[in-house]
Structure 1
Amino acid sequence: MLRMLILILLPVACLLPPGTGAGEIICGHEAKPHSRPYMAYLEIRRGNKNIACGGFLVSKNFVLTAAHCNGASITVLLGAHNINKQEQSQQWIRVRRAIPHWKYNDETLNNDIMLLQLERAVALNGNISLIPLPTSGQQVRPGTVCSVAGWGRRSSSNNDTSPTLLEVDLKVQDSEACGNFHCQMPPCYDPLTMICAGDRHQCQNSLQGDSGGPLVCGGQVQGIVSFGSTSGSPPSVYTRVYTFIPWIHEMMKRSQSGDPL
């Protein structure tokens, strides 16, 4: 029986709990430096260990990521290509408030989406910019070729992570592909809130990028890296951003105005 894989990148392999693994780019390549200026690298403190996730900038004050990337404290790195170097383009910003979706379920991984309100507005430039959210009538459909990027592992057989941003293309699948593959035990695929991506006949498996990273289709973010199988076999599952557009706008509005969430 397949076991669920939450795609969190852990900097130290021995910290991986049983039954989980790291997000990775397999059969991909290094991205052109700063060609994805919306990408965010998240350093997360959880208990007595540090973990990392991906994310993406949707406004000057907010980064979007996966709810399972929450922790006691989060710091966001923007404008990075090589996370092991101090690049002039980089901006480190602490998270003021993490806002996971109020219906997020850590067993089913449904509603796996979280907004991060930053302590200060980001200084936008050629290396740091926003990515558009999907609008009405622009839901991604099966057969669409999208892309994922991240700083995760480069192989399912070892813990070698990439300091530079990697990227890969993969194809959106119909609901049946993930419904059959990811319902042998929780979490189970929900087509209303999730996107299925990754061709099981290709090496570009569905463990693309880090948890919380964006599934980009036609220049818009359509999905958020959520979960896959521990076998490393595609397809994998991404949170369907389109479904949560009203929630995203409402939470950003309330946070900016200081209203209760």
Structure 2
Amino acid sequence: MQLLILVLLPVAFLLPSGSQAGEIIRGWKAQPHFRPYMAYLEIQSRDKRSCCGGFLVAENFVLTATHCNGDMITVYLGAHSIKQQEQSQQKISVRRHISHRQFSRETRNNDIMLLQLEHKAELNEQVRFIRLPAAHWRVQPGTVCSVIGWGRTSAPSKGLSRTLREVDLKVLDDEACLNYPGGIYRKYKTITIMCMGDPKEHKASFKGDSGGPLVCGKTAQGIVSWGPVNGSPPRVCTRVSIFIP
């Protein structure tokens, strides 16, 4: 099944046809290497450098968000700290970017991208891939899932977290985003997007976490995409299961 999914994902991206990066607010420091599928992306574009999250889905493929694209991307696997070298880290260049052709910076739909690595990762206790969902599987509202990343830890903060962090977020009904004040989610597509983060709990993803996974159980059900610029929930992620077939 895992192999079938990986074969079909690029096919979906080849169909013809402005986000804020994600941060972890009110989360906690992750247990080192407890999330061995996590990838840290260094992105070099013509006019700037940036970073995103991602997650390993095969020995030579990382899944992330299309808005994390750039001229040159370097992937770090097996990392806990991004400020120091660790023996567990594997630094691998990206050979090919497979972006969804129907991604729109205006609507922010289809925010999904595969990165083919220059060579296979060496799988071990610190580096392993995560399972993908069955086609069209929908996570039920009320389910508590986890977002993991190196993003900022508060809206006023300018720097990234030195170590990997995570936070538990509740999956919400689509109406929670569709009815958000100001209409920022007015072009929200319920087929391809998931709404996450209870506003009452004030926990969220934010800048630096984009491209990372929304993990429900042991499965990557979503890809952190975007949300309000002030870091408040709810925020949205790309629904992975819709792109499997």
Query: Unpaired segments of 5 or more residues in structure 2?
Result: 1-17
Deviations 1:51-105 (A, max 9, x none): 0000000000100000000000100000000011110000000000001011111
Cα 1:216–1:48, aligned 2, differ >3 Å: closer, same or farther?
same
Counterpart amino acid of 1:159? K
Corresponding residue number in structure 2 for 1:65: 64
CA RMSD in angstroms, aligned pairs only: 1.7
Corresponding residue number in structure 1 for 2:88: 89
Query: What pairs with 1:194-213 in structure 2 (closer than 5 Å)?
Result: 194-207=193-206, 210-213=209-212
Structure 1 CA distance for aligned equivalents of residues 137 and 161 of structure 2 = 33
Corresponding residue number in structure 2 for 1:76: 75
Corresponding residue number in structure 1 for 2:98: 99
> Are 2:162 and 1:163 aligned?
yes
Corresponding residue number in structure 2 for 1:17: none
Shift of 1:245: 1.0
Q: Which moves more between the two structures, 204-213 or 67-76? A: 204-213
SS at 1:181's partner residue?
A: coil
Instruction: Answer yes or no: is the 8 Å Cα contact 1:25–1:152 preserved in 2.
Output: yes
Structure 2 CA distance for aligned equivalents of residues 165 and 93 of structure 1 = 19
Shift of 1:5: 5.2
TM-score (norm 2): 0.89
Corresponding residue number in structure 1 for 2:20: 6
Shift of 1:137: 6.5
Counterpart amino acid of 1:146? C
Corresponding residue number in structure 2 for 1:45: 44
Instruction: Answer yes or no: is the 8 Å Cα contact 1:24–1:210 preserved in 2.
Output: yes
Structure 2 CA distance for aligned equivalents of residues 205 and 154 of structure 1 = 10
Cα 1:53–1:173, aligned 2, differ >3 Å: closer, same or farther?
same
> Are 2:112 and 1:113 aligned?
yes
Structure 1 CA distance for aligned equivalents of residues 188 and 182 of structure 2 = 7
Moved over 4 A (4+): none
Shift of 1:141: 1.2
Corresponding residue number in structure 2 for 1:15: none
Query: Unpaired segments of 5 or more residues in structure 1?
Result: 8-22, 247-261
Structure 1 CA distance for aligned equivalents of residues 217 and 85 of structure 2 = 31
Corresponding residue number in structure 2 for 1:243: 242
Instruction: Answer yes or no: is the 8 Å Cα contact 2:178–2:186 preserved in 1.
Output: no
Counterpart amino acid of 2:20? I
Shift of 1:231: 2.4
Instruction: Answer yes or no: is the 8 Å Cα contact 1:148–1:209 preserved in 2.
Output: no
Counterpart amino acid of 1:6? Q
Corresponding residue number in structure 2 for 1:129: 128
Corresponding residue number in structure 1 for 2:15: none
Corresponding residue number in structure 2 for 1:218: 217
Structure 2 CA distance for aligned equivalents of residues 182 and 43 of structure 1 = 34
Instruction: Answer yes or no: is the 8 Å Cα contact 1:5–1:230 preserved in 2.
Output: no
**Percent of pairs with identical residues:** 57
Corresponding residue number in structure 2 for 1:25: 24
Cα 1:203–1:185, aligned 2, differ >3 Å: closer, same or farther?
closer
SS at 1:160's partner residue?
A: coil
- Higher relative contact order (CA closer than 8 Å, sequence separation 6+): 2
Counterpart amino acid of 2:103? Y
Cα 1:186–1:139, aligned 2, differ >3 Å: closer, same or farther?
closer
Aligned length: 228
Counterpart amino acid of 1:202? E
Query: What pairs with 1:246-261 in structure 2 (closer than 5 Å)?
Result: 246=245
> Are 2:146 and 1:147 aligned?
yes
Structure 2 CA distance for aligned equivalents of residues 205 and 60 of structure 1 = 30
Cα 1:5–1:113, aligned 2, differ >3 Å: closer, same or farther?
closer
